[in-house]
């Protein structure tokens, strides 16, 4: 998708070749915005030279208001637009599809202003869902009463329209000018060929990466598109769910800097580790059918993801305990054991403010507590979602048994087996929620008795007491709702 920010960047900040390079890069970014294409590959795709692409990379990796290309190991992150890991909000997100004509020689041969004009028309087509759209002349050319676009004058607009009409690109779209009948208002009309709305390029970067990671982890078999799609759906759900929980917790208990960013890193880490474990599992004889039974494969993969989330959750809980132990150490609070950084320029050790360091530790503690809570919430929600599938499967079993045809084989052999599983899920959710209560309750415990920071700690605790009490009440309600939820699930199974 070409989001609004990327759209405006292409209109105002790039040359004709840079325009093509950016559009191609959008086909090669992963969920985190990392570009998985070399300069040579991009150059060949847009009909340019590798040397010029290196110049573009150097130009846009420097600070231009903000870096457009951010170095990430041996690659770059495209730092404009909205990355897929942030999800999609249909209420506010506006975008232009990556229409196939953007990647044709006919489009690349157009002059810059003609490319700009076509992009504006394509954006209107995508947002309005019509292959024939009109824009007010004043939306394109600036005047005393409208902003327009500074790169267009009346003459340049006419030149761009003429260039499109006289080019091979005219087989994809016709651009013309007309006037409204009543008020003689000038309009620029874009008429794209029939079917253009459904002719767009898809980004298969994550699918390619999935296959590469499975191969590197030891699975040498072929992976169908259906298999990849189902695994990617689970992977994307990690990002979406963690982002939603981060937003929900921020609204309830206040924003903590760095939490969302770190959760997105956890999502990628968990997804990649789970792929490696999936590759190992698929080499086992009992799992050979996963290549064709893709839904079963995705369910198995989801279980692996849950295990990895559990490991991360425990890691952050341990970090919370470590921070609390650190803050309760009197030597640390006095600064006696702090390592003073060495300034090579002056040849002196820099003084460290103990209170500033303690404040940072308190902030780190709060961030790790929030992440641990969110991961625990994710785990509890995963278990409840799995319980719904149990009810569906047992229900379908009995429906199939009434039909004349053979019943489809299900995971659950009997109602009793499903009932036992639901009961175990209920117990696990209850234990998880009680751990959450214990974790939140610890926030209200004193972390220091040292007078140096006693005022600061008291101040921070006072601000948190209200949110802690609110969170505990929510957890109590959640425990009650959870028990009620599983009781309903059990009733549905036993009364079939």
DSSP string, 344-381: TTTTEEPP--HHHHHHHHHHHHHHHHHHHHHHHHHHHH
| Of residues 488 and 133, more confidently modeled | 133
Residues 447-472: what's their mean pLDDT?
53
The pLDDT of residue 475 is: 63
pLDDT of residue 143: 76
pLDDT band at 16 (very low <50, low <70, confident <90, very high): very high
Query: Tokens standing for 359?
Result: 């404040």
The CA distance from 357 to 327, in Å, is 10
pLDDT value, residue 89: 54
Asked if the model's pLDDT at residue 412 lies above 50, the reply is yes
Region 165-193: what's the mean pLDDT? 92
Which pLDDT does position 187 carry in this prediction? Answer: 94
pLDDT of 411 > 60? The answer is: no
Q: What does DSSP assign to residue 341? A: P
Whole-number Cα distances in Å, 110 to 86, 121, 124, 168: 34, 15, 20, 9
**What CATH architecture does domain 1-91 belong to?**
Orthogonal Bundle (1.10)
Query: Backbone phi, then psi, for 195, in 5-degree steps?
Result: 95, -5
Most trustworthy range by pLDDT among 43-52, 269-278, 283-292, 333-342: 269-278
**The tokens of 199 are what?**
């002719």
pLDDT above 80 for 5: yes
Q: State the average pLDDT over residues 249-268.
A: 90
Rounded to 10 deg, the angle between the 4-13 and 16-25 helix axes is 160
Any idea how long the chain is? 496
**Average pLDDT for residues 85-95, to the nearest whole number?**
58
pLDDT digits (tens, 9 = 90+) for 100-137: 999 999 999 999 999 999 999 999 999 999 999 999 99
Full 3-state SS string of 151-191: CCCHHHHHHHHHHHHCCHHHHCEEEEEEECCCCCCEEEEEE
Tell me what percent of the residues of the chain surpass a pLDDT of 70. 67
Q: Tell me which residue of 194, 190, 162 sits closest to 174, measured CA to CA.
A: 190
Q: Which of 31-45, 50-64, 256-270 has the lowest mean pLDDT?
A: 50-64
Task: Tell me which long-range contacts 233-239 makes (C-beta under 8 A, separation of at least 24).
Answer: 233/298, 234/298, 234/301, 234/302, 234/305, 235/31, 235/206, 235/271, 235/274, 235/305, 236/31, 236/84, 238/267, 238/270, 238/271, 238/305, 238/309, 239/31, 239/84, 239/85, 239/87, 239/264, 239/267
Who contacts 96 (Cβ-Cβ below 8 Å, separation ≥6)? 1, 2, 7, 119, 122, 123, 125, 126, 127
Q: What is the pLDDT of residues 293-320, one digit of tens each?
A: 998 999 899 999 999 999 999 899 888 8
> Which tokens in the block code for residue 119?
């992009």
Q: Which tens digits make up the pLDDT trace of 207-217?
A: 999 999 999 99
382 pLDDT higher than 90:
no
d(CA 452, CA 459): 13
pLDDT, tens digit (0-9, with 9 covering 90-100), for 54-80: 888 888 888 656 678 888 888 899 988
Q: Compute the distance between CA of residue 400 and CA of residue 381 in angstroms, rounded to an integer.
A: 29
Q: Is the pLDDT of residue 335 over 50?
A: no
Encode burial over 215-230: b for 16+ CB neighbours within 10 A, e otherwise: eebebeeebeeebbeb
Highest mean pLDDT, choosing among 370-374, 430-434, 472-476: 370-374
pLDDT confidence band for 451 (50 / 70 / 90) = very low
Domain ranges of the chain: 1-91, 97-203, 207-401+411-494
Between 290 and 64, the more confident residue is 290
Per residue in 423-440, pLDDT tens? 766 666 666 666 656 655
CB atoms within 10 A of CB 466: 11
Residue 91: predicted pLDDT? 52
In the numeric block, the tokens 């006037």 are attached to 179
CB atoms within 10 A of CB 14: 21
* Global pTM value: 0.74
Give dist(CA 5, CA 77) in Å, integer. Answer: 15
């Amino acid at each position: 998708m070409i989001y609004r920010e990327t759209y405006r960047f292409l209109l105002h900040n790039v040359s004709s070749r840079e325009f093509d390079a950016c559009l191609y890069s959008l086909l090669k970014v992963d969920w985190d915005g990392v570009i998985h294409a070399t300069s040579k590959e991009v150059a060949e795709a847009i009909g340019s030279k590798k040397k010029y692409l290196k110049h573009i990379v150097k130009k846009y990796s420097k600070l231009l208001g903000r870096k457009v290309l951010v170095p990430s190991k041996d690659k770059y992150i495209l730092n404009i637009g909205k990355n897929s890991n942030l999800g999609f909000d249909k209420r506010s997100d506006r975008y232009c599809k990556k229409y196939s004509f953007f990647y044709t020689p006919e489009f690349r041969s157009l002059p810059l202003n003609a490319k700009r004009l076509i992009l504006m028309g394509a954006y209107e087509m995508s947002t309005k869902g019509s292959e024939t759209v009109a824009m007010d002349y004043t939306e394109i050319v600036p005047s005393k009463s409208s902003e327009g676009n500074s790169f267009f004058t009346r003459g340049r607009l006419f030149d761009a329209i003429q260039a499109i009409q006289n080019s091979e690109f005219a087989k994809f779209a016709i651009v013309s000018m007309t006037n409204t009948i009543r008020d003689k208002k000038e309009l620029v009309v874009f008429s794209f060929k029939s079917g253009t709305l459904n002719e767009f390029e898809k980004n298969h970067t994550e699918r390619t990466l999935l296959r590469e990671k499975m191969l590197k982890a030891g699975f040498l078999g072929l992976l169908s598109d259906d298999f990849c799609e189902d695994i990617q759906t689970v992977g994307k759900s990690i990002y979406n769910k963690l982002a939603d929980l981060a937003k929900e917790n921020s609204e309830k208990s206040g924003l903590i800097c760095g939490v969302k960013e770190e959760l997105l890193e956890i999502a990628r880490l968990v997804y990649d580790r789970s792929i490696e474990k999936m590759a190992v599992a698929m080499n086992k004889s009992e799992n050979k059918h996963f290549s064709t039974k893709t839904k079963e494969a995705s369910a198995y993969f989801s279980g692996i993801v849950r295990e990895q989330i559990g490991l991360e959750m425990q890691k952050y809980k341990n970090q919370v305990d470590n921070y609390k132990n650190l803050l309760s150490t009197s030597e640390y609070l006095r600064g006696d054991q702090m390592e003073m950084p060495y300034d090579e320029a002056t040849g002196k050790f820099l003084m460290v403010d103990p209170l500033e360091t303690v404040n940072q530790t308190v902030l780190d503690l709060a961030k790790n507590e929030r992440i641990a809570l969110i991961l625990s919430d994710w785990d509890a929600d995963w278990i409840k979602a799995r319980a719904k599938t149990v009810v569906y499967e047992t229900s379908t079993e009995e429906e199939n048994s009434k039909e004349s045809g053979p019943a489809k084989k299900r995971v659950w052999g009997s109602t009793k087996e499903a009932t036992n599983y639901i009961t175990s899920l209920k117990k696990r959710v209850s234990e998880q929620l009680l751990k959450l209560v214990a974790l939140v309750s610890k926030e209200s415990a004193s972390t220091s008795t040292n007078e140096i920071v006693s005022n600061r700690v008291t101040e921070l605790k006072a601000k948190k007491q209200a949110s802690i009490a609110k969170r505990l009440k929510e957890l109590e309600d959640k425990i009650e709702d959870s028990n009620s939820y599983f009781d309903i699930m059990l009733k549905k199974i036993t009364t079939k």
